[in-house]
Structures are given as structure tokens and as C-alpha cells.
Amino acid sequence: MNWRGVLAIYGFEMARWRRTLMQSVVSPVISTSLYFVVFGSAIGSRIDSIDGVNYGAFIVPGLIMLTLLTNSIANASFGIYFPRFIGTVYEILSAPVSPFEIVLGYVGAAATKSVILGLIILATAGFFVPLQIAHPFWMLLFLVLTAVTFSLFGFLIGIWADNFEKLQAIPLLVITPLTFLGGSFYSIGVLPPFWRKVTLFNPVVYLISGFRWSFYNIADVSVALSLGMTAVFLAICAFLVWRVFKTGYRLKT
Amino acid sequence: MHPIISVSNVTKKYASGLVALNGVSLDIERGEIFALLGPNGAGKTTLIGIICGIVNASGGTVAVDGHGIGKDYRAARSLIGLVPQELATDTFETVWNTVSFSRGLFGLPPSPAHIAKVLKDLSLLDRRNSKILTLSGGMKRRVMIAKALAHEPQILFLDEPTAGVDVELRKSMWDLIRQLNASGVTIILTTHYIEEAEEMAGRIGVINKGEIVVVEEKAELIRKLGRKQLTLDLQKRLDAIPEGLDGHPLALAADGRQLIYTYDSKSERTGIASLLKDLSEAGIRFKDLSTQQSSLEDIFVGLVSQK
């Protein structure tokens, strides 16, 4: 294992994050605060509690997930796309680092940033709504698993994309809709039966449901299923990343 | 002693169907400066890319100091520093950080002393805290060299190191390369500036259309393939080459005041004696004569156009 190589990549990515702290931390915190103000306080005050949980508090796990998914993908995809775009990826490819070490550096850094961001937003939420965390260990586990999974997914997008438009397309056209329709702001129990069935094909439902369970002990689907689906998605992304390095897809000509 | 790099029958066919390398075999000796010459698109960069791990070969094998670049890639790559042709730098990083990053990436413990030495050798030390963004093109090129030297490689690949670099800087880069070589680093440089190869290299390989055309000691190459020119300064100006001299490969130059005779220095009969006899019979007198060895450039053009 070339740990110093992993650390070099990890450190480089974290430094990039610190350089753009305003954009990477402050802007998600502001936008999440706006959600709390608008949905939690303004609109939420007219909505009954859901399953005994105040509406403002109910949306906290969903909002954290929304930030976690978009930021994991954005960080990891940009992290590997940019060196490809400006050509500095030559150095990574010609260094004595294994594919696993490269992924560990990039995805590890992206996931770290997302988890930190998730915790910051959780703390921010504490200012707006009464919070309770029923299962802190599971909460952290879901947080980390999701961050890693979607950072891997973002890494794949960063390798697949050959222009900036593609880099934006998946988060914008797929992830954001899936998150909004995945029960960030409602329990899928309030949907008509047909749409409830359709929603079950949305993987984000399982992430949000499991995550919300770790807060309030309420879930749309069983916790085991949530954990299982997260693990499956993680495995799929890990397999695809392995294939990328095996074949050299878009990295080596 | 076995060669430090051994390339054996390497081929590369791109997905587009383009054959960039067609069975290239090449040995690089330990401690030499080797120049790989070839026109644009000849396969120089592809060959370097394969050795360094950036391009996947379609066939053949490469060993670096006995380590195959496939299974034993860590050992192989640890020995190599690469300076690619394209300027590619981390714009927002400082010089010091980007060079330190390279050292870490290669798995070495931090060594501020070594980084400082490399930066000093490349006249970058006073810019160590500058963002790369603020550097000139020539400085960026040197930053890339510094990055390649950060892990104290035994082999240094320089792909077109002086493309777009001004004359003065080019000379100082050559000095640096010589210094590195003197300290034991094997240098492989690609160039299409013949002047550079002629100035620097001990051995020269010429590649064209994905095939190695010739690999030879520089002096030997020039001697073997070199054509010589005999220049005669005439006493009287000529309008055309007189009829009696048709059989000789002659050309008029300097507005008819010079006759230039081209011959092969390695052939048994250079034809000079019969030329001089014919000249005197034709009544052409000359006041001076000189011979010149053709430059590498002439040889190169000859080799490449033969193909």
C-alpha cells in the first residue's frame, strides 16, 4: 500500500475544498437554512405533524440527504474530472499508486467533505427545529455509507463525463428529482397507492427512510431493507469503478 | 549490465484504428542521454505514454530495470520521472505544494531539503510560494520538471522539453539535463528539434510512422549516414553547369560563384578525384575549397522521406 500516495491525493482534495470554503460550505448551509425558513417555519407551521413529528423536524433528515447526495457527487466528480480536463491526470496515472489507492484518495476526500457538511447542516437545523436523534450510531452509519456510495457514483460521473455539461447533467436531471420525489419533504405514506408503488423504485427513498428512522424511529420501509439497498448501490458503484480501472475506460487511451 | 529500459515488440492500435506503434523494440542503456527523434505523429509520445503507464499497449512488453510495467508497475514507475509535452499544472496550487504533492504521490516521505534543491536548480526557489497561475510559460515548464524530479527518479522522460521555450532558457535547460545526467540519471528526450538531439544526446533513435527506423550512436549515425559536401569557390562566375560535368551531382550556389558537390563519405569512391580532373579539363578554376559534414537534420530528413 502506498499510503503516502493516498494521503497526497486526499490532502490535495481537502486543500482544494479549503480554498473554496465559501462555495463548498457556506452556500449549502445558506440554502438549507432557507429550506428551514420556508418549509419548516412559513409553510410548516400550517402543516400537521407527520407520524407525531413536527414538520420542520421531519424534513431535517431529507434535507441532509439532499445535501449529502448532491455534494458527494459534485465533489467526487469534479475532483477526478478536472485533472482529466486540464491534463494533470498524467501524474496520477504514471505514479506508483494502485487504482484502489487513487479511489481511496479521491472518494475518501469527497466523502469526508460530505459528512462534515452533513453534520454542519444538522447543527444548523438545531437552531430552527427541535431535534432528536434516536439512534446516533445508525445515523452516522447511514451518513457515512451514503457519502461513500454517492462519492463513488460521482467519481464514475467524473470519469464518464467528457464535457462540463455531462458533469452537471446527472446531478441536475437525475439526483435532484429523485431526492425530491424520494420523500425528503413528505412521508411516502401520504401518496396514492399507485404512486407509492412507483416510488419504491426510487433508490433514494430507502436512503431517506433509513436515515429518518435513525432520528425519529419512523420509517417508510423497513430499516433492514434501507441498509440492504444502500449496500447494494455501494457494491454496484464499487464494481463499476473497478471495471473502469480494469479497462482504462476514459482514463487511459 | 542489462538495459535500464527494455521495450520489446510494442504495438499500439487506437480504438479509431490508427496504428501508432508497429512493433517497436528499443533498449535504453543505464546512464545515457537518448534522443528519440521523429516528425509529428510518429509515435514518440505514445511510446513514452506506454512506458510510463498512461497508455495501454496493444501488444509487446516493457521492462524498467527488470520490472515489467504490468504486474510490477509500482517498482517500474517509482524509477521514472515524466515531463509530458503539454503544459498541465494545478493552476491554483503554489509551486512548493505542487512539487511536494508529487513526492508524496510517489510514496516518499517529505523532504523540504530535496524540494528546495530541485527548485533552486530550476531557478524557481524565489517563486516557491507563488500560485502557478501567476507564472510564465517557461516557469510552468520548469515546475513540471521539478515535479518529475521530486521523487528523485533514476530515469527522466522529457517529451519535447524545449518546445516553446526561448533560446536562453533552452540553453539553461540543456545544462540542467547534463547535470542530472552527470549525477547518474538516465535521460530520454523526444524532440523534433534536431539541434537539440545533436547538442545533447549520446545515442539517437529515429521513429517514423510507428516504427524505429534507426538507433545509433550520434557520431556514428552522422558518420554512417552522413553525406558530405564539397564547396568550390570559383574564380569566375558560372551561369550554368558546363556540359562536360553533367555526370557529377553538382549544384550552383552563391549566384554562380560556388559549385557544391554532394557525396557519400562512407562509399569507397567519393568521385572527388574525377570531378577535379573534369573541372580542370573544362577549364574551371577555383580559388578555394572546403568540405562539410551534413547535419543531423539532413540525415533525418533523408531517413524520414525514404519511408
Q: Are A25 and B125 in contact (CB under 8 A)?
A: no
Q: Residue A215 — pLDDT band, cuts 50, 70, 90? A: very high
Q: What is the DSSP letter of B232?
A: E
Cell numbers describing residue B200: 545533447
**Percentage of chain B exceeding pLDDT 90:** 48
pLDDT of B66: 92
Residue B280 resides in a domain: yes
Q: Are residues B117 and B259 in the same domain?
A: no
Highest mean pLDDT among A37-51, A108-122, B275-289: A108-122
Q: What is the mean pLDDT of chain B?
A: 87
Residue B161 predicted with pLDDT over 90: no
Instruction: Give me the torsion for CA of A88, B208, B14, B6, rounded to 10°.
Output: -70
Q: Which CATH number is B87's domain given?
A: 3.40.50.300
Express each pLDDT in B40-80 by its tens digit.
Answer: 888 999 999 999 999 999 999 999 999 999 889 999 999 99
Q: Are A76 and A102 in contact (CB under 8 A)?
A: no
Q: Are residues B267 and B125 in the same domain?
A: no
Q: Under an 8 A CB cutoff, do A5 and B56 touch? A: no
pLDDT of B151: 95
The residues, ordered by sequence, that sit 6+ positions from A161 with a Cβ below 8 Å of its Cβ are A77, A81, A167
Q: Are residues B215 and B252 in the same domain?
A: no
Q: Are residues B85 and B151 in the same domain?
A: yes
Which residues is B7 bridged to in the sheet? B26, B62
Q: Are residues B178 and B249 in the same domain?
A: no
Residue B251 predicted with pLDDT over 90: no
β-strand pairing of B258-264 with B227-234:
antiparallel
- Please tell me if residue A14 touches chain B, with a CB cutoff of 8 Å: no
**Domain ranges across chain A:** 3-247
Q: Are residues B197 and B237 in the same domain?
A: no
Residue B212 resides in a domain: yes
Residue B199 resides in a domain: yes
Q: Are residues B166 and B94 in the same domain?
A: yes
Domain boundary among B161, B196, B222: B222
Element at A121 (helix H, strand E) = helix A99-128
Q: Residue B306 — pLDDT band, cuts 50, 70, 90? A: low
Q: Are B45 and B29 in contact (CB under 8 A)?
A: no
CB-facing half-sphere around the CA of A243: CA atoms within 13 A? 8
Is the predicted ipTM greater than 0.90, yes or no? Answer: no
Domain boundary among B196, B222, B248: B222
Q: Residue A45 — pLDDT band, cuts 50, 70, 90? A: confident
* Residue B23 to residues B66, B122, B207, B283, Cα–Cα distance (Å): 20, 37, 12, 55
Q: Which of A17, A19, A88 to mutate to test the interface with B (most CBs of B within 10 A)?
A: A88
Note down the domain range covering B176.
5-222
Q: Which CATH number is B281's domain given?
A: 3.30.70
* C-alpha distance from A189 to closest chain B C-alpha (Å): 49
Element at B174 (helix H, strand E) = helix B167-182
Residue B50 resides in a domain: yes
| Range B9-30 average pLDDT | 93
Residue B299 resides in a domain: no
Q: What is the mean pLDDT of chain A?
A: 88
Residue B157 resides in a domain: yes
Nearest to A39 by CA among A27, A47, A29, A50: A47
pLDDT of B279: 83
The residues, ordered by sequence, that sit 6+ positions from B187 with a Cβ below 8 Å of its Cβ are B32, B33, B34, B155, B156, B158, B177, B180, B181, B200
CB pairs under 8 A between A and B: 79
User: Cell 424520494 appears where?
Assistant: A182
**What phi and psi values does residue B175 have, to the nearest 5 degrees?**
-60, -45
pLDDT of B225: 66
Residue B303 resides in a domain: no
Residue B234 predicted with pLDDT over 90: no
| Range B84-107 average pLDDT | 93
* Residue B195 to residues B24, B170, B210, B298, Cα–Cα distance (Å): 25, 11, 22, 11
| Range B248-261 average pLDDT | 81
| Range A119-135 average pLDDT | 87
Q: Are residues B151 and B113 in the same domain?
A: yes
**Who has greater pLDDT, B194 or A16?**
A16
pLDDT of A32: 82
Express each pLDDT in B256-297 by its tens digit.
Answer: 888 888 887 767 777 888 888 888 888 888 888 888 876 777
* C-alpha distance from B20 to closest chain A C-alpha (Å): 12
Express each pLDDT in A85-110 by its tens digit.
Answer: 999 999 999 999 999 999 999 999 99
Q: Are residues B18 and B127 in the same domain?
A: yes
Q: Residue A26 — pLDDT band, cuts 50, 70, 90? A: confident
Domain boundary among B222, B240, B268: B222
Q: How many domains is chain B built from?
A: 2
B92 by Cβ neighbours in 10 Å (0-12 / 13-18 / 19+) ranks as: middle
Residue B144 predicted with pLDDT over 90: yes
Q: What share of chain A is helix, strand, coil (3-state, %, to 5)?
A: 80, 0, 20
Residue B305 resides in a domain: no
Q: What is the DSSP letter of B150?
A: T
Residue B84 predicted with pLDDT over 70: yes
User: Cell 530495470 appears where?
Assistant: B65
| Range B198-212 average pLDDT | 89
| Range A129-155 average pLDDT | 92
Q: Are residues B146 and B122 in the same domain?
A: yes
Of the candidates A2, A7, A252, the beta carbon closest to that of B56 is on A252
pLDDT of A153: 94
Q: Are residues B163 and B280 in the same domain?
A: no
Which residues is B211 bridged to in the sheet? B208
> In chain B, which among 110-169 make CB contacts under 8 A with chain A?
147
Q: Are residues B175 and B282 in the same domain?
A: no
Cα–chain-centroid distance for residue B30?
17
Q: Are A204 and A69 in contact (CB under 8 A)?
A: yes
